[in-house]
Amino acid sequence: MSKIRTLFLLLISLTLTSACTSDDIQPPEPTSKPPNILLIVVDDMGFTDIGAFGSEIRTPNLDRLAYDGVRLTNFHAAPQCAPTRAMLMSGSDNHKAGMGSMFGPNAYKDFPADRVGYERYLHPRVATLPERLNDAGYHTYMAGKWHLGADDEKKPSARGFERTFALMDGGASHLELRGLGPKTYREDGEELNALPDDFYSTNTYTDKMIEFIAANADDGKPFFGYLALTSPHWPLQVPAEELDRYAGQYDHGYDVQRARRVERALQLGVLPEVDPDLFDPQGARWDELSEDEKRYSTRTMELLAAMVENMDDNVGRLVAHLKTTGQFDNTFIFFMSDNGAEADREDKNPNEARGIERSNYYDNSYDNLGKASSWAFVREGWAQASMAPYRLYKGFLTEGGTRVTSFAHHPRLASSGKIDNQFLTVMDVMPTLLSLANADFDPTRVRGRDVLPMDGKSFLAALQTSARVHGADEVIASELHGQRSLRRGDWKIVWEQMTANIWWEGEKPDHWRTWRLFNLADDPTEQHDLAAEEPEIFAELTTLWYQWAETNGVITDITPQWREPVQNGSAGSN
């Protein structure tokens, strides 16, 4: 591991030296001091939602980091938030980490109780990234969404973080201490009864991260900061002064928006060459909506854009702090979204409609959208505009559900806007950061307990060279809430079905609950099922998936309870 890090430091030094003239300021020599590490995870953000990936949303701070770093355009997360976080914090498959599902047995038919791999918290049979880095001499800080267990023994301060300010749940109001059900925050392990008077999630989480970093800035130890922002996860809310940042800018609708995003992303080189018209959207087309529906839908996208710009503002504040305090030049930043863009309907999804109706508080009328007493979502048209040309969105193991915005940045990583399009997975982040930190550890033991070794692979060398991380014959399989996939090189099989909490409006597609085969080199948008044309490859990959499922204790017949649409204010049935 020390050889990898030494190579990395040598490469960045050589790159900078070759870029300088004799009159330039000479770059610093490679140093053995481990770099600070800042891991920024945003929630439910679409692939093209920042400027460096094709967006019209104003994100100058993130764009600057992305353009100066390495954009990873084939980086994959899990299709929903908690499993991604479990994989990120463990370097392992979500079942090994305890997050085979986010939901209890009441969400499924015939769900076996006490199933190993489905504990729904970050299990101690895996080591965590903060445990490893803390043992390697790092301060470890966390601010934002945890969603990996709320009890005393499961909280982030019990899993390797020194300082924390954490939302324990999967989602909450961005403006106050409430939500559709009880919400819990912990600061340094202790439960909070109140939030700051000026609380806005992204602002407060950034404040806390700056506070944690500043507290130990002079003791010579590097820091690992995990900034787990909940923006732009629903509910769509922003501070009052930011409500109209994007007023009128999305009146063209999501069909036009989708085409513009794809065109811009193709120009930037962050998409493979695709036919932008080869797209099969789910849900109503824009011209099928009534004028009132268009007006309401447009407002939700305006609010999501404002949330993303606010997030960028806060990343800028954090970077400015690091520069002011002289820490930026030795800080490695990794940025990612936790899954594809969200697509939901507060008026049709019984989970949300029931809570909104029973709260006697939330008001989703047009004039109230974005305020503390609203609880609204973007719908599938805008989600697909953010994920296009990839198919579908959060909740599915299609490319649109798992291929996410990601980049790595270090001031000495002088890549001149390098774009790396090789397949990577969120499980690769932990081994990459441990390699960067030169952490020495026993892969099967941590803090006196036996643990499973990581599944991911370091991509540290790939940030400066053409090194390949995953071989053409390597098999990487996935499952969540009945969704399935397996990749081997350019080949991918996918199984789609109704998922537990993502609302699907309309008829269930004929291909649900069947395997389909795609060649992603030729068909990255998963349009052409080749199962019948390539029967041998199809049989090999499906067999491999079932072998993987058996080895990893995956439930192979998991069926979410069907949820009927809400009618006349009724919440429907489970």
CA 182 to chain CA centroid, nearest Å: 24
Are the C-beta atoms of 305 and 261 separated by less than 8 Å? no
Active site residue 481: no
Tokens of 63: 């764009």
- In sign, the C-alpha dihedral spanning 460, 466, 470, 471 is negative
Are the C-beta atoms of 308 and 231 separated by less than 8 Å? yes
Active site residue 252: no
* Residues near 433 by beta carbon (within 8 Å), at least 6 away in sequence: 37, 39, 129, 133, 224, 332, 334
DSSP state of 462: G
Q: Alpha-carbon distance 182 to 416, whole Å?
A: 47
Which residue is catalytic, options 76, 81, 174, 410?
81
* Residues near 419 by beta carbon (within 8 Å), at least 6 away in sequence: 70, 71, 73, 269, 270
SS3 readout for 337-392? ECCCCCCCCCCCCHHHHHHHHHHCCCCCCHHHCECCCCCCCCCHHHHHHHHCCCCC
Q: Which helix (H) or strand (E) holds 186?
A: strand 185-187
Which residue is catalytic, options 95, 139, 147, 174?
147
Number of H helices, E strands in the chain: 12, 20
Tell me which residue of 285, 344, 387, 393 sits closest to 503, measured CA to CA: 344
| Residues recognised as catalytic | 81, 147
